Amino acid sequence: MPASTAQDAPPGHDIATALAAVRARIAAAAHRAGRDPADITLVAVSKFHPRESVVAALRAGQATFGENRVQEAAEKFPPLRAQWPGLRLNIIGGLQTNKALEAVRIADMIESLDRPALCDAIARAADRVGRMPQLLVQVNTGDETQKSGVAVEEADAFITAAMTRFGDAVTGLMCIPPVDQDPMPHFRTLAAMAARHGLGVISMGMSADFELAIAAGATHVRVGSAIFGPRPAHRA
Ligand SMILES: *Cc1c(COP(=O)(O)O)cnc(C)c1O
């Protein structure tokens, strides 16, 4: 994801206020859809933002965070766990096999299982580390060549294989619709696929479209800039 502006978050950007506003929007969207807001997990995407921003969100009651770079997450999050035992870290976005060991070590959920080589790397890492995060299969619903995620045509077979191999660790699906398209058909595709496989977790929707995702059945929305402000450009 490119940084949305060339500036740091405006001074005084109030993370607690922004979080409360996002939570209110999630609750309203859930009610409109006849759903219980408690069934929707807000994943606060803190990539490129400093640890202090994460702490501000933790103080405001936020528990679950998303990062798309393992190295950055490894620097930011493990030191916070002692003080914040409820903290949950999700790795979102494309994962290189050589980062699988560290990801398995630090993450509670990896949202981007998308190819056999990564399954192998995660299985080896889990053996070595002695823990297995929850796993979501990322589906490339727009079949974009440059994007991570398993192709729609291969998704059912891949999901079945991953569920067979990893059992209960596979809890759901994740997608990132193409930026220039109506996200709704993509959300519906993902929700239908999850239902077909009996998977409960559906991770979809970002700052621009999380309310639509909730209408389509999202159980996890990944929201960054609406909480933390624009991403600092220097790490983008
Ligand atoms: C950055 C990112 C988000 C959050 O994006 P915003 O538009 O800032 O809410 C969500 N999901 C993934 C995979 C991301 O990389």
Of 9 and 161, the one with more pLDDT: 161
State the closest ligand 1 atom to the C-alpha of 47, by its place in the atom list counted from 1.
1
Q: What is the pLDDT of residue 1?
A: 42
Rg of the chain in Å (alpha carbons) = 17
Is 69 near ligand 1, meaning CB less than 6 Å away?
no
Is 1 near ligand 1, meaning CB less than 6 Å away?
yes
Q: Best mutation site among 22, 26, 42, 68 for ligand 1, i.e. most ligand atoms within 8 A of its Cβ?
A: 68
For residue 30, which phi and psi values (nearest 5 degrees)? -65, -45
Dist. CA 101–CA 80, nearest whole Å: 20
CB–CB of 161/152 below 8 Å? no
Q: What is the pLDDT of residue 234?
A: 54
Question: Residue 127 Cα, ligand 1 centroid: separation in angstroms?
Answer: 30
State pLDDT tens for residues 96-147: 999 999 999 999 999 999 999 999 999 999 999 999 999 999 999 999 998 9
pTM of the model: 0.94
CB–CB of 82/57 below 8 Å? no
Question: Residue 68 Cα, ligand 1 centroid: separation in angstroms?
Answer: 9
Q: What is the pLDDT of residue 6?
A: 36
Residue minimizing CA distance to atom 13 of ligand 1: 93
Is 225 near ligand 1, meaning CB less than 6 Å away?
yes
Q: Is the pLDDT assigned to residue 38 strictly greater than 90?
A: yes
Q: Is 222 helix (H, G, I), strand (E, B) or coil?
A: strand
Structural domains of the chain, with CATH = 6-228 (3.20.20.10)
State the closest ligand 1 atom to the C-alpha of 226, by its place in the atom list counted from 1.
9
Q: What is the DSSP letter of 172?
A: E
Q: Is the pLDDT assigned to residue 3 strictly greater than 70?
A: no
Q: What is the pLDDT of residue 4?
A: 41
Q: What is the pLDDT of residue 11?
A: 53
Beta-bridge mates of residue 137: 113, 173
State pLDDT tens for residues 157-211: 999 999 999 999 999 999 999 999 999 999 999 999 999 999 999 999 999 999 9
State the closest ligand 1 atom to the C-alpha of 208, by its place in the atom list counted from 1.
7
pLDDT grade, residue 5 (50/70/90)?
very low
Amino acid at 211: E
pLDDT grade, residue 10 (50/70/90)?
low
Q: Best mutation site among 13, 45, 225 for ligand 1, i.e. most ligand atoms within 8 A of its Cβ?
A: 45
State pLDDT tens for residues 60-108: 999 999 999 999 999 999 999 999 999 999 999 899 999 999 999 999 9
Question: Residue 177 Cα, ligand 1 centroid: separation in angstroms?
Answer: 11
Is 122 near ligand 1, meaning CB less than 6 Å away?
no
Q: What is the pLDDT of residue 168?
A: 97
Dist. CA 85–CA 183, nearest whole Å: 35
State the closest ligand 1 atom to the C-alpha of 225, by its place in the atom list counted from 1.
8
Is 175 near ligand 1, meaning CB less than 6 Å away?
no
